[in-house]
A and B are shown apart, each in its own frame.
Chain A
Amino acid sequence: MSGPDFDGRRGRWIGAPVRRREDPRLVTGRGRFLDDIHLTGLLHAGFVRATVAHGRVHEVDLTAVREVEGVVAAYSAEDLGLGDIVALLDRPPEEYTPTTMPILARHKVRFAGEPIAIVIAKDPYAVEDGIEAARVTYDVLDAVVSEEAALAADAPLVHEDAPSNVLLDVTSFDTPGVDEAFQESGCVIDLVTRSARQNALPLETRGAIASWDERDEQLLVQTCSQVPHQVRTVLARSMRLPEQSVRVTVPDMGGGFGQKCVVGREEIAVAAAAKRLGRPVKWIEDRRDALTAGFLAREQRYRTRAAFTAEGKLTAIDADIVCDMGAYSCYPFTVGIEPLMAAAEMPSVYQLPAYRVRARAIASTKAPTAPYRGVSRPQYVLVMERIMDLAARRLGLDPVEIRRRNLITEFPYRGVNNVTYDPGSYLESLELAEKTLRAEGWYELRERAAAEGRHLGIGYSCFSERTGYGSEAFAKRKMTVVPGFDISEIRMDLTGSVVVTSGTMNHGQSHETTFAQLVAERLGLDLAKVKLRQGDTERIPYGWGTFASRSATIGGSAVATAATRLGEQLCVIAAHLLGTRVENVELDGDGGVVQLDDPTRRMAFEELADVAYLRSHLLPKETPPTLTATAAFDVPGDGTFSNATHAVVVEADPGTGQVKILRYACVEDCGVVINPKVVEGQARGGIAQGIAGALFEEVSYADNGEPSAASFIDYLVPTATEIPDISVDHLETPCAFTESGAKGAGEGGTIGAPAAVLNAVNDLLWHTGVQLESTPVHPEAVLTALAGAHRHEKASTPV
């Protein structure tokens, strides 16, 4: 049989902007999100949480809780006796100190918001009453809220067995030639950047509904998770159950962005409580808990030196990276998630001859971190892109020109970081972005505006992102649990329709649509005849879920391969029934199999299924009556790389310091575009989160470790008036390693935006002599810089 040709050529379904198949239920309020599920006899749960950031737990007294009207039960760690969450790296002790996360805090609390006890009641209001009645006493210890405090010689220890609060300390690369490059360099850029802690902030908070099915002797946990199989594993281990006694299902999910791709402790406490009580228990995290006790990300500091030649060629990078990972290591990614990503990928899209990097993960008394859309890439891309701009200024080069001189243009490129980059459109995307801004007259406008006393800046960022992290690429991280592959199963029914499974987990990325497009293309079947199933450990073969933009790349390739195999089975049956050789038939692209030498002879899928299932005696012995195929897919080697250039024009208000984005252009390349509208949506949504990181969002803490942003009043999520319209242009460099030809498109927007926005802000600030190197950029800082320049100008004006 013949498959479609993915060399940039579009089929009937691939590349078509088809309507989302998720929409009819979602736009009519008929979606089923976790909190929409009701079970008979349902009880509700909430958590007594630490009110101090750091302390020894003296006593947990739940007596009064149990007396509150409506409260059914309250359990502390001691009552439940669950096993801890253990996420490990396979690294030597001088590099790595393992720690564990108890389900409920025992003996010690390590951040304000840490769960200490679970309260179960007949309704959520009574749960709140119960939580209020809890009495927990502590011996308060000093909080550890900054990098300086964590690394201080006499710092209080977050984990007694982690000396000096360093959980991971690796020098990933120290190639020859670094020192020489700095000695010879005529242009050395020194840069310190910081990015604030951020919350991935899915609009639907976390939650779980657990029930024990006596008939099946099985625990059913419905939860909003990007990684259902991994949740099952931790549930089973922690509760000491065989995996077959635990089923995890996921309903519609209101976003995740990485926060839901790690296993939370609350889900397990809820499951344990449900099993003990023999009644279903529901926990839905409220926004306050989501802001203060949900998994966070992004708090990083980079000290970077970069050497350039006089011609603007980058010759060396020497970087020191510190990531504040908070109180605990997340499962399965561990505290290595941010520092290891940063160290391995920092050279980004540039040719770099010499590289030295030290990366550390430190513990603090703050909510723990998890992957968040982009993982470290927004931060190191910001560093690299700032370095390019600063060097360009120093050397009198145009920011676009210095990038042009350093971009990787020949593929496959083997980097100083031992990573092989697959082909992309690094230079093409930059040139198209620049052309767009020039054609639209933004450069002239910037000059005119300056003459009028307005403050406009233009900024670029170029980046690539590894998206097809297969098991080989993840194994380099030395996680003891190595993600990477995915499995798909496809079944055809009597009507010629198929149900296809994927181990990935849709939480807004339109999997039901794009995966159906892949299957429809491969089988030559109408889209309406394809149904996707995800999120059920009982019905779906083992899978790694959705993170690292892996769904279309890896999951999609498994789905496409399974469809191809089903097509082969259909051809075998058809050839037999048509009385010809299998080489003489092929899928006809319209729900049937056709004989090549006589196109009048054709069998529809329905007819083939009819024979397979209802009249299997017509088939030869060696042809099984199954129209089911399974395929596993893993990306070999170093994986796939999507790339993009973002170009931004901003204006700063000299009265308020507010930065407004006037124009945002994204040129992206994620390989074969399965559905352009879906890819554009991913790009725009990602960019909005990147702008949020650049200008608004910050999880801050008081000196005593109390979180200062416990509501949307204090945590500034951008709205429609802060996020501009964004143009998205697609370039298409098909991926050779994936069946789908796709490279993954989930995270790019978030990665590129902070650097592009910060570069644009610094462009408009250049004349002030002030450059801002931390995110988010506060209006006060912009205002101060502009006012300073203003005073300066005034002072120098002769009277």
Chain B
Amino acid sequence: MSDKHLIVLTVNGIDHELLVEARWTLLDVLRHQVELTGTHVGCEHGVCGACTILVDEEPVRACLVYAVQAEGHAIRTVESLGTPTEPNDLQEAFSARHGLQCGFCTPGFLMLAEGFLTQRPTPSREEIREAVSANLCRCTGYQTIVDAIEDTARRRAGQTDPEPEAVR
């Protein structure tokens, strides 16, 4: 039960030396030991996507991985994207498009979108919708999330700015 393992997790470019039980999920260890609580818990069975992070730049559900398995991989959480005063372009787009309400699902969607846009920099709206269907949001009805990702993809591809949806 309490067979503990000393591991090193590389999270957002920083190494953390941690003593973990083999059964602890990466999600729990990130939240409660590394103390990065931006990654959320929605179901712990791999469906809702609230726990989505990037492992070696691929979107991964942190509730389906044990912390001990993540050693030696580059882990990125929502905290790596931007800060409240300097959000990154995707975070900015989520806000501009009202792509969130309670915000509980948001970190998962952001990380999903980051990984997706790296793999598919110029997706169609349908492809975005398809990708986004990996995660659950109970508040927004998804449309504004798709909008935000679409805007970001266009901007990153150097296309002209879409009309700003909301003023500051």
Interface positions of A (Cβ within 8 A of B): 16-20, 22-33, 35-36, 38, 69, 124-125, 129, 201-205, 252-255, 257, 284, 286-287, 507-510, 677-678, 680-682, 684-685, 687-689, 711-713, 717, 719-723, 725-726, 749
Determine, out of B64-72, B116-124, B141-149, B154-162, the stretch whose residues face the partner at the interface.
Answer: B141-149
Assembly CA distance A153 to B31 (angstroms):
53
Assess the A28–B91 pair: CB atoms within 8 A.
yes
Assess the B45–A287 pair: CB atoms within 8 A.
yes
Assess the A720–B139 pair: CB atoms within 8 A.
no
- Whether A27 contacts B87 in the complex (CB less than 8 A), given A254-B103, A508-B102, comes out as yes
11 CB contacts below 8 A, A to B, read: A16-B167, A18-B168, A26-B103, A27-B87, A29-B38, A203-B48, A205-B42, A254-B40, A284-B41, A722-B133, A725-B146
- Min CB gap B143→A, angstroms: 5
Assembly CA distance A287 to B47 (angstroms):
11
- Whether A27 contacts B133 in the complex (CB less than 8 A), given A35-B41, A203-B48, A684-B140, comes out as no
Assess the A721–B130 pair: CB atoms within 8 A.
yes
Interface positions of B (Cβ within 8 A of A): 1-2, 21, 23-24, 28, 31-32, 35-45, 47-48, 50, 77-79, 81-85, 87, 91, 94-96, 98, 100-107, 110, 129-130, 132-146, 165-168
- Whether A255 contacts B102 in the complex (CB less than 8 A), given A28-B81, A689-B138, A711-B47, comes out as yes
Assembly CA distance A287 to B46 (angstroms):
11
- Report A-chain residues with C-beta under 8 Å of the C-beta of B107: 29
Assembly CA distance A719 to B145 (angstroms):
12
Closest 9 CB pairs of A and B: A29-B38, A254-B104, A26-B103, A508-B102, A684-B141, A712-B47, A29-B78, A688-B141, A508-B101
Assembly CA distance A472 to B110 (angstroms):
45
- Report B-chain residues with C-beta under 8 Å of the C-beta of A35: 31, 37, 40-41
Assembly CA distance A205 to B42 (angstroms):
7
Assembly CA distance A125 to B2 (angstroms):
11
Assess the B98–A257 pair: CB atoms within 8 A.
no
- Report B-chain residues with C-beta under 8 Å of the C-beta of A18: 166-168
Assess the A717–B84 pair: CB atoms within 8 A.
no
- Whether A510 contacts B165 in the complex (CB less than 8 A), given A35-B41, A726-B143, comes out as no
Assembly CA distance A32 to B28 (angstroms):
16
- Report B-chain residues with C-beta under 8 Å of the C-beta of A22: 103
- Report B-chain residues with C-beta under 8 Å of the C-beta of A30: 38, 83-84
Assembly CA distance A236 to B98 (angstroms):
39
Return the contact of B103 from the options A252, A257, A680, A713 (Cβ within 8 A). Answer: A252
- Whether A712 contacts B103 in the complex (CB less than 8 A), given A28-B84, A29-B78, A36-B37, comes out as no
Assess the A684–B144 pair: CB atoms within 8 A.
yes
Assess the B98–A678 pair: CB atoms within 8 A.
yes
- Report A-chain residues with C-beta under 8 Å of the C-beta of B36: 29
Assembly CA distance A69 to B105 (angstroms):
34
- Report A-chain residues with C-beta under 8 Å of the C-beta of B168: 18-19
Assess the A719–B133 pair: CB atoms within 8 A.
yes
- Report B-chain residues with C-beta under 8 Å of the C-beta of A32: 37
Q: Which residue of A lies closest to B143 (CB)?
A: A725
Assembly CA distance A722 to B141 (angstroms):
10
Return the contact of B101 from the options A16, A33, A509 (Cβ within 8 A). Answer: A509
- Report B-chain residues with C-beta under 8 Å of the C-beta of A712: 43, 45, 47-48, 136
- Report B-chain residues with C-beta under 8 Å of the C-beta of A204: 40, 42, 102, 104
Assembly CA distance A25 to B77 (angstroms):
15
- Min CB gap A108→B, angstroms: 31
Assess the B23–A125 pair: CB atoms within 8 A.
yes
Assess the A681–B144 pair: CB atoms within 8 A.
yes
Return the contact of B104 from the options A203, A720, A721 (Cβ within 8 A). Answer: A203
Q: Which residue of A lies closest to B97 (CB)?
A: A677
- Whether A33 contacts B142 in the complex (CB less than 8 A), given A19-B96, A124-B28, A678-B98, comes out as no
- Min CB gap B65→A, angstroms: 16
- Min CB gap A483→B, angstroms: 22
Which of A19, A129, A507 has the largest count of B CB atoms less than 10 A from its CB?
A19
A sample of 6 more A-B contacts (CB under 8 A), given A18-B168, A20-B95, A254-B104, is: A16-B167, A18-B167, A203-B102, A255-B101, A287-B48, A682-B101
- Report B-chain residues with C-beta under 8 Å of the C-beta of A680: 98
Assembly CA distance A33 to B2 (angstroms):
29
Q: Which residue of B lies closest to A31 (CB)?
A: B103
Assembly CA distance A31 to B167 (angstroms):
22
Assess the A27–B100 pair: CB atoms within 8 A.
yes
Return the contact of B82 from the options A28, A255, A719, A723 (Cβ within 8 A). Answer: A28
- Report B-chain residues with C-beta under 8 Å of the C-beta of A717: 136, 138
Assembly CA distance A201 to B137 (angstroms):
10
Assess the B104–A255 pair: CB atoms within 8 A.
yes
Assembly CA distance A682 to B140 (angstroms):
7
- Min CB gap A625→B, angstroms: 35
- Report B-chain residues with C-beta under 8 Å of the C-beta of A508: 101-103, 139
- Report A-chain residues with C-beta under 8 Å of the C-beta of B143: 684, 723, 725-726
- Min CB gap B13→A, angstroms: 16
Assembly CA distance A500 to B100 (angstroms):
24
Return the contact of A253 from the options B45, B79, B102 (Cβ within 8 A). Answer: B102
Assess the B38–A254 pair: CB atoms within 8 A.
no
Assess the B94–A23 pair: CB atoms within 8 A.
yes
Assess the A685–B141 pair: CB atoms within 8 A.
yes
Q: Which residue of B lies closest to A33 (CB)?
A: B104
- Report B-chain residues with C-beta under 8 Å of the C-beta of A29: 36-39, 77-79, 107
Assess the B77–A720 pair: CB atoms within 8 A.
no
Q: Which residue of B lies closest to A680 (CB)?
A: B98
- Min CB gap A209→B, angstroms: 13
Assess the B95–A27 pair: CB atoms within 8 A.
yes
Assess the B139–A255 pair: CB atoms within 8 A.
yes
- Report B-chain residues with C-beta under 8 Å of the C-beta of A33: 37, 40, 104
Assembly CA distance A510 to B24 (angstroms):
35
- Report B-chain residues with C-beta under 8 Å of the C-beta of A507: 102
Which of A17, A22, A202, A508 has the largest count of B CB atoms less than 10 A from its CB?
A508
- Report B-chain residues with C-beta under 8 Å of the C-beta of A252: 102-103
Assembly CA distance A639 to B153 (angstroms):
46
Assembly CA distance A30 to B86 (angstroms):
13
- Report A-chain residues with C-beta under 8 Å of the C-beta of B40: 33, 35, 203-204, 254
- Whether A27 contacts B47 in the complex (CB less than 8 A), given A203-B138, A685-B101, A687-B141, comes out as no
- Report B-chain residues with C-beta under 8 Å of the C-beta of A287: 42-45, 48
Assembly CA distance A201 to B42 (angstroms):
10
Assembly CA distance A12 to B142 (angstroms):
29
Return the contact of B78 from the options A28, A681, A682 (Cβ within 8 A). Answer: A28
Assembly CA distance A129 to B2 (angstroms):
12
- Report A-chain residues with C-beta under 8 Å of the C-beta of B96: 19
Q: Which residue of B lies closest to A124 (CB)?
A: B28
Return the contact of A203 from the options B42, B79, B81 (Cβ within 8 A). Answer: B42
Assembly CA distance A17 to B165 (angstroms):
8
- Min CB gap A378→B, angstroms: 16
- Whether A510 contacts B101 in the complex (CB less than 8 A), given A24-B85, A720-B142, comes out as yes
- Report A-chain residues with C-beta under 8 Å of the C-beta of B98: 20, 677-678, 680-681
Assembly CA distance A287 to B105 (angstroms):
15
- Report A-chain residues with C-beta under 8 Å of the C-beta of B37: 29, 32-33, 35-36
Assess the A720–B78 pair: CB atoms within 8 A.
no
Assembly CA distance A203 to B137 (angstroms):
7
Assess the B138–A202 pair: CB atoms within 8 A.
yes
